[in-house]
Amino acid sequence: MSGTLIGAIGIVAMLVLMALRVPIGFALSTVSFVGIWAVRGGRPAASTFQNLPFEFNAHWTLTAVPMFLLMGSIAGNSGLTRDLFDALRLMLGRVRGGLAIATNFAGAGFAAACGSSLATTATLGRIAVPEMLKAGYAPSLATGVASAVGTLGAIIPPSIMMIVYAIFAEVSAGKMLVAGIIPGILTAAIYALMIYLRVLAQPSIAPKVEADSRSPSEKMKVIIGCWPLPVLSLGVIGGIYSGIVSPTEAGALGVILAAGVALIRRTLTLKVLRESLHETISTTASILFIATGALLFTRFLAISGLPYDIARLVDSLGTDPLLIVLLASLVYLVFGCFLDPMGVLLLTLPVMLPIFHAADINPIWIGVILVKYLEIGMLTPPLGLNVFVMKGVVGKSVPLGAIFRGTAWFLLAEVFVMFLLIAFPKITLLLPDLM
């Protein structure tokens, strides 16, 4: 049996195991071990599993993952997100649809602090959705905006997915993180515009909110009180962009800033610290387990020769970058409907990266495009992870179908965002090129 055929069988076996709900890290590792054994024999398979996991997990850049996760956990558990939402609600509340727009920008701010789409969605589901439902907003709009803006955690730095992609694609993690800034801001702006236009067309889904009864001095106090999260985000992003700190060091800087702000505000309790550490450890372990399995799967496919055969096939069909990007778009949209985003990224990179390289496609630009497609997959049925997280937060108060209907409008906005990012690569590459 040829190596290419074994590689193809391995991919099919991987998809079958995932369909059977086998944990993705375990499934990747098992298929990799059996596949390497089938191609090279038992001793090379054992040697690969003995050395590769340690070499990967000892990679210095990966220390940014727990640091950014801990920064986000401290920021969320100490109440910094709630303060930002309160301030934005105060500033935009009287605008029709203002609570939804405030939720959109508050979610973008929290995403910039924590780097996790699911954490952003869960936080907004607890804080913003009840406020909008109480104000008379349509459940589909309230849950839709909170679910959709959560996806910005995958692209606005610090982004765990961007760091993992940078390691596998062997590009600068700093440039990869900075490349997500403009696309993330653009997405949030287009989301806000879509909400505003939709509410103008259908005013019943977002009633006007009554005037806030607080005095001007009290309102100013609330607005000033949201300073920690913008300072935290600017400190991390500014440190990376200016070159003062590396992406790895920026994670540690973010933890120090988040803990310092929480101490100043007297919200860094032992309970907050304990919960933050627990969340960080469990999430880091999950991410690294999946990433290690993906690296082993990458090695298996490389040994089988399948990625290179596919790259040669694509090369024989022509290496028009636009055609390849469109084909990749189709692959990631389909996979994103069924599989975990990090799993999709790590599962497909071994096959896709040689193809992008053969077509001379900028790895930073295509990395942002891929992450954007993965975030879109977190909203699409049947397995829209953000939608199910939102359903878990709101419980029986909002039907699952209503949440999916709400996110459909944001998927339409994403069509326009993706057109701009693909048609004008400079949008993505402007900041990295200036570094």
Minimum mean pLDDT range among 48-52, 143-147, 429-433:
48-52
Does the pLDDT of residue 181 top 80, yes or no? yes
- What is the pLDDT, as a whole number, of residue 191? 94
- What is the pLDDT, as a whole number, of residue 186? 93
pLDDT over 70 percentage in the chain: 87
Number of domains, the chain: 1
pLDDT, one tens digit per residue, over 353-411 is 888 887 888 999 999 999 898 888 888 876 677 787 788 777 778 888 888 898 999 99
Task: Read off the pTM.
Answer: 0.72
CA 154 to chain centre: 2
Any domain includes 35: no
- What is the pLDDT, as a whole number, of residue 382? 63
DSSP code for 203:
G
Any domain includes 190: yes
Any domain includes 43: no
- What is the pLDDT, as a whole number, of residue 93? 62
Mean pLDDT, range 245-259, rounded to an integer = 79
pLDDT, one tens digit per residue, over 310-361 is 666 666 666 678 888 888 888 787 777 666 677 678 777 877 888 888 788 8
Greater pLDDT, 115 or 420: 420
Greater pLDDT, 12 or 65: 12
- What is the pLDDT, as a whole number, of residue 175? 87
Any domain includes 330: yes
Greater pLDDT, 345 or 187: 187
- What is the pLDDT, as a whole number, of residue 413? 93
- Answer whether the bond into residue 44 is a cis peptide, omega within 30°: no
Mean pLDDT, range 200-227, rounded to an integer = 74
Greater pLDDT, 93 or 106: 106
Any domain includes 15: no
Structural domain boundaries, residue 175: 62-434
- What is the pLDDT, as a whole number, of residue 414? 92
- What is the pLDDT, as a whole number, of residue 308? 66
Residues 6+ apart with CB under 8 A from 385: 117, 118, 340, 341, 378
Please provide the average confidence, as pLDDT, over all residues in the chain. Answer: 80
- What is the pLDDT, as a whole number, of residue 380? 81
How far apart are the C-alpha atoms of 358 and 75, rounded to whole Å? 42
Q: Phi/psi class of residue 2: alpha, beta or left (left: φ > 0; alpha: ψ in -120 to 50)?
A: beta
Any domain includes 338: yes
- What is the pLDDT, as a whole number, of residue 174? 83
Q: Which string of DSSP letters, residue by residue, matches 20-53?
A: TT--HHHHHHHHHHHHHHHHH-HHHHHHHHHHHH
Any domain includes 39: no
* Token duo for residue 213: 């009864």
* Token duo for residue 35: 């596949």
HSE (side-chain half, CA atoms, 13 Å) at 13: 18
Neighbours of 15 (CB within 10 A): 16
Greater pLDDT, 67 or 361: 361
Q: Are 71 and 252 in contact (CB under 8 A)?
A: no
Mean pLDDT, range 180-194, rounded to an integer = 92
Q: Are 177 and 158 in contact (CB under 8 A)?
A: yes
* Token duo for residue 90: 């105060």
Any domain includes 374: yes
- What is the pLDDT, as a whole number, of residue 420? 94
How far apart are the C-alpha atoms of 355 and 340, rounded to whole Å? 23
- What is the pLDDT, as a whole number, of residue 318? 60
- What is the pLDDT, as a whole number, of residue 366? 92
Does the pLDDT of residue 169 top 80, yes or no? yes
